[in-house]
């Protein structure tokens, strides 16, 4: 198992499938690759926690906020404290409304960007993958997630408003890489809720692949739009249990079954060879710049 890979699943735009991706990518890695996976809910809205069956997260005694408080206060935690197990083979570090207080309180803490990293570093040896479901903002909790992560996956719906925000997100990732976490990389952009029946969606996907895709990996697999995926949160299970023969399950199986590392080994649309740290910074900046003149930033 060794030193698990930490992946932040982030986009400051809400409603693009971050939580759905975290749940199904995590369960997929556990089921199809037999990996040991921890899912961390880094959003005070507790979407991941609820999606995995804990309908009253505010009743939980130990959450991510508890663990981060222990780091801040230099207080020891028992191994596995606060971690819950889901029947589909993944562990969960849940959140609740207490995390919103942590978001505000971090501004007064020394080395505030590294609190989550310090908490996660002690868990790496127990997992192959640690996936962080980030809140839909670029606030201090998201900065903590990016500081803790080895890489980033960006779920993005192929719509004008969703892709418009990619510019800001890519600049933020580049800034964190430059100032806080020089090893941070972007695994890729995962297109979610894609409806290829519309000319608008097809045009945005084509533009995204031809511009940003020259510098940042855009996953070949697209997650199709489906009401069945939205139903999963109500049942507290992944798409593999809720609709195992459906198109969304097939898409997430394609991503997680082949492995995050296999899908993200290269860069750009053609999956070219890995790049150096300096080149990686340049690619992040180039990808952000590419969004400005391309059709994604204009009304279609």
Contacts of residue 167, defined as CB under 8 A and 6 or more positions apart, other chains included, come to 288, 291, 292, 297
- For the segment 237-264, the average pLDDT, to the nearest whole number, is 82
Model pLDDT for residues 212-249, shown as the tens digit of each residue? 877 889 999 999 988 888 888 888 999 999 999 999 99
Q: Across all residues in the chain, what is the average pLDDT?
A: 85
pLDDT top residue among 258 and 277:
258
pLDDT band at 200 (very low <50, low <70, confident <90, very high): confident
Model pLDDT for residues 1-30, shown as the tens digit of each residue? 668 999 999 998 888 889 999 999 999 999
274: pLDDT strictly greater than 50: no
152: pLDDT strictly greater than 60: yes
Domains and CATH numbers, the chain: 5-297 (3.40.50.300)
Question: Contact, 129 vs 7, CB < 8 A?
Answer: yes
Q: What percent of the chain has pLDDT over 90?
A: 60
Q: What pLDDT is recorded for position 292? A: 45
Q: What pLDDT is recorded for position 69? A: 95
Q: What percent of the chain has pLDDT over 70?
A: 84
Q: What pLDDT is recorded for position 298? A: 31
> How far apart (Å, rounded) are the C-alpha atoms in residues 180 and 185?
12
Q: What pLDDT is recorded for position 229? A: 85
Q: What pLDDT is recorded for position 187? A: 95
Q: What pLDDT is recorded for position 264? A: 44
Weakest mean pLDDT among 72-81, 166-175, 276-285: 276-285
β-strands 84-85, 91-93: how paired? antiparallel
- For the segment 286-298, the average pLDDT, to the nearest whole number, is 42
Q: What pLDDT is recorded for position 64? A: 97
- For the segment 174-194, the average pLDDT, to the nearest whole number, is 94
Nearest to 80 by CA among 38, 117, 133: 38
> How far apart (Å, rounded) are the C-alpha atoms in residues 22 and 188?
14
Q: What pLDDT is recorded for position 263? A: 46
Model pLDDT for residues 94-146, shown as the tens digit of each residue? 999 999 999 888 988 999 999 999 999 999 999 999 999 999 988 999 999 99
pLDDT band at 270 (very low <50, low <70, confident <90, very high): very low
Question: Contact, 208 vs 296, CB < 8 A?
Answer: yes
267: pLDDT strictly greater than 50: no
> How far apart (Å, rounded) are the C-alpha atoms in residues 22 and 277?
26
276: pLDDT strictly greater than 50: no
């Amino acid at each position: 198992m060794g030193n698990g890979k930490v992946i932040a699943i982030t986009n400051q735009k809400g409603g693009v499938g971050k939580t759905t991706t975290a749940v199904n990518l995590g369960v997929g890695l556990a089921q199809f690759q037999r990996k040991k996976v921890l899912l961390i809910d880094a959003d005070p809205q507790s979407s991941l926690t609820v999606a995995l069956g804990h309908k009253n997260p505010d009743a939980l005694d130990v959450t991510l906020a508890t663990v981060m408080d222990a780091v801040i206060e230099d207080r020891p935690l028992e191994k596995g404290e606060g971690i819950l197990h889901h029947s589909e083979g993944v562990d969960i570090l849940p959140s609740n409304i207490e995390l919103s207080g942590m978001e505000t309180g971090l501004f007064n803490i020394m080395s505030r960007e590294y609190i989550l990293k310090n908490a996660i570093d002690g868990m790496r040896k127990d997992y192959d993958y640690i996936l962080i479901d980030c809140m839909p903002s670029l606030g201090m909790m998201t900065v903590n997630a990016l500081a803790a992560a080895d890489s980033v996956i960006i779920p993005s719906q192929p719509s004008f408003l969703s892709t418009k925000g990619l510019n800001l997100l890519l600049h933020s990732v580049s800034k964190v890489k430059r100032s806080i976490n020089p090893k941070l990389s972007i695994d890729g952009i995962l297109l979610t809720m894609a409806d290829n029946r519309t000319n608008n969606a097809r045009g945005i996907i084509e533009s995204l692949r031809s511009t940003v895709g020259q510098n940042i990996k855009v996953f070949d697999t697209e997650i199709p739009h489906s009401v069945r995926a939205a139903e999963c949160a109500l049942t507290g299970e992944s798409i593999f249990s809720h609709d195992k023969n459906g198109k969304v399950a097939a898409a997430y199986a394609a991503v997680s079954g082949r492995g995050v590392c296999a899908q993200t080994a290269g860069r750009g649309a053609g999956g070219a060879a890995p790049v150096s740290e300096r080149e990686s910074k340049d690619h992040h900046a180039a990808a952000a710049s590419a969004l400005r003149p391309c059709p994604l930033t204009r009304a279609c």
